[in-house]
Structures are given as C-alpha cells and as structure tokens.
C-alpha cells in the first residue's frame, strides 16, 4: 500500500536534536532518529535485535545509541559495538540494526525506506522556499487517523475549500468559477486551478487589508510520489499578472504511519513582508486551523470505510474534480506493482544504508 522507493519527510529539523533520541512510525516501521557528534542525523529501525526493546528508550552517546534493556550499543551504521552483559564473547553477526538513508534539506529530515541502492538525494523535492534567506517560513505536524491517499485526494481536489473551509479559505465564488488544468508526469501530478474576478477569501482579506476588492485566485497543487505536495497559491488584482500579486507556498507532505494513519507535515513560506514574523505566524495559525478541519472530515470518511483503506475498492461516485487524485492513485499503484516485481536483494542480516552527507 506504500511506495517505498521514494523520499518522505521523517521530521522537521527542529524535532531531532542532540538531546536524546526521537522516534516516529513511518510506513509501518518504527524508526529512531538521533544526531551524531557533528550534528548530522541518523535513522534506524527502532528495535534492538536482542529482546526487541525500542532503542529510542535508550541513551545516545556520541555516534552510538545504547539499548535501555541490556546495554547493547549500536554505532551509527547499525553495527553492535558493545555487548556489556558478555564482554568477553564475540558479538554475533546478527547483532545489527537496519539503518536508512537520510538527508537534511530545506529544514526537513528526509528518509528513504526502500532499496537503499536507489536512494538518490537529487530526487528529493526542491522546496527551496523553506530555507532560502529571501523567504520566511515555518512548519508544523499533525497526525491524521486516515489513509494517506484520502488526504492526497483531499488536497488534489480543492473544490472542498468552499465547504470545509468556508470560514477561512473559501467562499461560494470559489466553488462555482474554477478553471482547471491537470498535468500528469511519470511520478507527478499538477492540478492548476484559477478563480477569476471574485472576492478574496477570508484569510487573504485578514492578512492583507489592501485586498478587499475582487481578485484572481490561483491554486497550483504539485504532487510527487510517494505523497509530497506543495501548493503555489496566491491572489492578484483582477486581470493582473501573478507577479503583481502575493503568493504563499504551502507545504502539504504526507508520510504514512500505518494503513489508516498519516503524518501530515504542513508549512507556509512567503516573500511578501517576509521580515514581519507576525505574517508568518498568521499563516501558520490559519493553516493549522484549516488542516484540523481537513483532519476532522477525512477521519470521518475513514471511519465510514469500516476498516477498508482503499476507497476505490468501495466503488465511490466519481466527480470531475476527482480526476487529478485518480491520476495520482494510478501512479502510486504502478510504482507499488513495480516494487513488488523487483524487490531489493539483501545478503546481510540487516540492510545498512549507504552514507549520505547531510546538507547544511
């Protein structure tokens, strides 16, 4: 149900510190993360191979992590380097922990949970707005108790904003007047939407008092497999070019936790009034408010699916606005099928990720 040969956000940079270990379940795998002495992140299976205690309960010491149960200590490559309950015995070859490729980029820690030989940092989405000096940005996290593809559906069909987010991101004009274009690539979908000559939605009017008149609103959602999205959204005076208006680049990245739960990493990045922290704070509060509205409705959908995680197996009615989401689902299924036909070949008891230099 997951595309494994893809980069996912494991955490925001600020979540993983040098003070102890950080754990999160990703694609059904418990993962522990910590930082080496030089500050670069490490990610490994959060399970000691001895009695399966979570390594995240243990102690980080330099470039190693020690299990809290019997003291076995593992290096940042996953190899056991100390077994204190039997110090004179040879450490078993199987005393290894699987590690995963990680890259720190754009204030996010990216992880690869598929075939480590295919982990190419050049494939990480270019969300440069989230660490560029000309842009102000911030990010947050929600855990949504629903399948990640339900959230993908929600984000690729923005007609819902007129109803779910009517008090902050939508209005009746948005529902009636959208012009759309869908571009489909090998691993990507872009859903472009424009609403011309209508009143600015509440959030834009609250943020910028010079946008009380009618505007053209654009919303271009860029999706890349597995489930990473960024929304280029903005307003400009009716009939004017986008460069004459204001844009926000909203992060909407989904990392599955389980079949029916998802880590939702969200954020806001902007250049307009980027030196004013209050503007960034406003957008983060507005997005958190809106995404909690999404969380409520998508979780309600998941509950009505009664344990099923694939809504298409339940033969839902399909609207025109579902087109982009269905294209994304087809890409995901194709990639899953390809991975099942060509699984990675591992000779070691636990696969160890190749070293990837984190960016600073």
What element of type H or E holds 203? helix 202-207
Q: What pLDDT is stored for residue 345 in this prediction?
A: 61
This prediction's pTM:
0.92
DSSP percent split of the chain into helix, strand, coil, nearest 5: 30, 35, 40
Rounded to 5°, the CA angle 206-210-213 comes to: 90
Q: Name, in order, each residue with C-beta under 8 angstroms of 151's C-beta and a sequence gap of 6 or more.
A: 144, 227, 254, 262, 264, 294, 298
Cβ–Cβ under 8 Å, residues 352 and 99: yes
What are the chain's domains?
7-123 (2.102.10.10), 128-339 (3.90.380.10)
Q: What pLDDT is stored for residue 358 in this prediction?
A: 44
Q: What pLDDT is stored for residue 353 in this prediction?
A: 54
Which residue matches tokens 């009664």? 306
Q: Taking 90 as the threshold, does the pLDDT of residue 354 lie above it?
A: no
Q: What pLDDT is stored for residue 207 in this prediction?
A: 75
Q: What pLDDT is stored for residue 213 in this prediction?
A: 80
135-145 mean pLDDT: 97
Q: Name, in order, each residue with C-beta under 8 angstroms of 28's C-beta and a sequence gap of 6 or more.
A: 2, 256, 257, 258, 259
3-state class of 94 per DSSP? coil
Q: Which of 134, 130, 178, 163 has its CA nearest to residue 13?
A: 130
Separation of alpha carbons 321 and 162, rounded Å: 13
Separation of alpha carbons 259 and 293, rounded Å: 21
Long-range contacts of residues 287-290, Cβ cutoff 8 Å, at least 24 apart = 287/140, 287/250, 288/140, 288/142, 289/168, 290/165, 290/168, 290/169
Q: What pLDDT is stored for residue 348 in this prediction?
A: 45
41-57 mean pLDDT: 97
Phi-psi region of 192 (alpha: psi -120 to 50; beta: other; left: phi over 0): beta
Separation of alpha carbons 208 and 77, rounded Å: 50
Q: Which of 266, 293, 267 has its CA nearest to residue 280?
A: 267
Q: What are phi and psi of 96, to 5 degrees?
A: -135, 155
Q: How many CB atoms lie within 10 A of CB 19?
A: 9
User: How many residues are there in the chain?
Assistant: 360
Q: What is the pLDDT of residues 84-126, one digit of tens each?
A: 999 999 999 999 999 999 999 999 999 999 999 999 999 999 9
Separation of alpha carbons 360 and 344, rounded Å: 30
Q: What pLDDT is stored for residue 117 in this prediction?
A: 95
Among 12-21, 223-232, 340-349, the range scoring the smallest mean pLDDT is: 340-349
Q: What is the pLDDT of residues 224-253, one digit of tens each?
A: 999 999 999 999 999 999 999 999 999 999
Q: What pLDDT is stored for residue 359 in this prediction?
A: 45
pLDDT band at 46 (very low <50, low <70, confident <90, very high): very high
3-state class of 12 per DSSP? strand
Per-chain mean pLDDT for the chain:
92
Q: What pLDDT is stored for residue 355 in this prediction?
A: 46
Q: What pLDDT is stored for residue 352 in this prediction?
A: 53
């Amino acid at each position: 149900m997951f595309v494994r040969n893809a980069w996912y956000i494991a955490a925001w940079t600020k979540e993983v510190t040098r003070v102890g270990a950080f754990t999160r379940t990703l694609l059904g795998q418990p993962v522990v993360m910590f930082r080496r002495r030089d500050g670069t992140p490490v990610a490994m299976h959060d399970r000691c191979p001895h009695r399966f205690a979570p390594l995240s309960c243990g102690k980080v010491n330099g470039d190693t992590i020690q299990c809290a149960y019997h003291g076995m200590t593992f290096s940042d490559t996953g190899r056991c380097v100390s077994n204190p309950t039997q110090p004179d015995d040879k450490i078993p070859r199987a005393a290894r922990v699987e590690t995963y490729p990680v890259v720190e980029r754009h204030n996010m820690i990216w992880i690869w949970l598929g075939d480590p030989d295919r982990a190419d940092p050049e494939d990480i989405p270019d969300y440069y707005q989230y660490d560029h000096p000309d842009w102000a940005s911030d990010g947050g996290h929600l855990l949504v108790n629903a399948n990640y593809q339900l959230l993908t559906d929600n984000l690729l069909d923005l007609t819902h904003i007129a109803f779910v987010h009517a008090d902050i991101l939508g209005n009746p004009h948005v529902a009636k007047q959208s012009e759309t274009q869908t571009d489909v690539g090998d691993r990507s979908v872009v859903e472009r939407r424009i609403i011309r000559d209508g009143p600015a939605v509440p959030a834009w009017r609250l943020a910028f008092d010079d946008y009380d008149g009618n505007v053209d609103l654009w919303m271009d959602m860029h999706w890349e497999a597995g489930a990473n999205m960024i929304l280029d959204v903005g307003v400009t005076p009716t009939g004017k070019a986008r460069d004459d208006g204001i844009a926000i680049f909203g992060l909407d990245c989904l990392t599955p936790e389980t079949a029916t739960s998802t880590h939702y990493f969200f954020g806001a990045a902007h250049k307009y009034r980027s030196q004013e922290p209050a503007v960034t704070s406003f957008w983060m509060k507005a997005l958190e408010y809106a995404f909690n509205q999404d969380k409520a409705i998508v979780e309600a959908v998941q509950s009505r699916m009664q344990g099923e995680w694939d809504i298409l197996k339940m033969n839902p009615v399909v609207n025109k606005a579902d087109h982009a989401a269905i294209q994304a689902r087809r890409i995901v299924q194709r990639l899953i099928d390809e991975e099942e036909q060509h699984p990675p070949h591992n000779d070691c008891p636990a696969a160890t990720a190749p070293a990837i230099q984190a960016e600073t």
